[in-house]
């Protein structure tokens, strides 16, 4: 599907500037904001691959850096879930004020620690965020109270060989009151580097967002 808009956005908030790559296909059905994990960036080849598949399915994407380059040098900031979620909330509000995105249903795609930030932001913005997908995520880092407050459909994608994270996702799913599905990708480790596993993630994510992102009248 041809993408009619792909731009680097500079998002001003709280005296700093965050950057994100916005891609919108024609007649986009929604917009998915990506929150990457610790040590990654909006240039993550895995998230970019998933974003392309979403665009091919008619869903817009915004690949974000929730920290400035200076902040990203601080290892503690990369694991500051509260800070990351506040930034994601701020970007979501920015999206709702742009003429070309304000009408679009919102979803989140979070990887690793970014999944915890996405769930925390979704809980604080309910019912604005309509769906969340986690790839190899750490939903446990959002906290039990927050997990119980998430009210949007949530898909947890974990590799079958990522045993520790799989156990944490199973525990987190039990704490959630929303429509939550845990899908185990056979033969995949934490980064989904095995042949075909990332394609499986992208397919599940596209189906989830197509099912749950709806324009509200």
Q: What is the pLDDT of residues 7-38, one digit of tens each?
A: 889 999 888 999 999 999 999 999 999 998 66
Cα 200 from Cα 179, distance rounded (Å): 21
Residue 92: both structure tokens together:
């979501």
Tens digit of pLDDT for each residue in 48-65? 999 999 999 999 999 998
Contacts of 90 (CB under 8 A, 6+ apart): 11, 13, 14
**Rounded average pLDDT over 168-191:** 97
Secondary-structure class of domain 5-212 per CATH = alpha beta
Q: Is the pLDDT of residue 174 over 90?
A: yes
What pLDDT sits at residue 180?
A: 98
Tens digit of pLDDT for each residue in 105-143? 999 999 999 999 999 999 999 999 999 999 999 999 999
What pLDDT sits at residue 61?
A: 97
What pLDDT sits at residue 38?
A: 62
What pLDDT sits at residue 36?
A: 81
Q: Is the pLDDT of residue 187 over 60?
A: yes
What pLDDT sits at residue 106?
A: 98
DSSP 8-state class, residue 2: -
Mean pLDDT rounded to a whole number for the chain: 92
**pLDDT band for position 44 (50/70/90)?**
confident
Helix (H, G, I), strand (E, B) or coil at 69: coil
Extended strands (E) in the chain: 5-13, 16-24, 31-35, 60-64, 106-111, 129-135, 154-159, 180-185
**Rounded average pLDDT over 68-89:** 87
Residue 23: both structure tokens together:
């891609």
What pLDDT sits at residue 151?
A: 97
What pLDDT sits at residue 78?
A: 79
Q: What is the pTM of this model?
A: 0.94
What pLDDT sits at residue 41?
A: 63
């Amino acid at each position: 599907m041809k993408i009619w808009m792909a731009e680097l956005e500079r998002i001003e908030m709280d005296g700093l500037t965050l950057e994100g790559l916005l891609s919108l296909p024609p007649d986009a059905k929604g917009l998915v904001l990506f929150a990457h994990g610790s040590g990654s960036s909006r240039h993550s080849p895995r998230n970019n691959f998933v974003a392309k598949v979403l665009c091919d399915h008619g869903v817009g994407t915004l690949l974000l850096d929730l920290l400035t380059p200076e902040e990203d040098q601080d290892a503690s900031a990369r694991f500051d879930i509260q800070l990351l979620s506040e930034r994601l909330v701020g970007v979501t509000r920015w999206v709702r004020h742009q003429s070309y995105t304000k009408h679009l249903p919102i979803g989140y795609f979070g990887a690793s620690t970014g999944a915890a930030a996405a769930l925390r932001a979704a809980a604080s913005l309910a019912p604005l965020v309509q769906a969340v997908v986690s790839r190899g995520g750490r939903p446990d880092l959002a906290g039990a109270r927050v997990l119980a407050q998430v009210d949007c459909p949530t898909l947890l994608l974990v590799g079958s060989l990522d045993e520790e994270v799989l156990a944490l996702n199973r525990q987190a799913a039990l704490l959630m009151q929303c429509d939550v599905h845990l899908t185990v990708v056979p033969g995949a480790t934490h980064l989904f580097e095995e042949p075909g596993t990332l394609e499986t993630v992208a397919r599940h994510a596209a189906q989830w967002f197509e099912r749950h992102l709806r324009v509200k009248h």
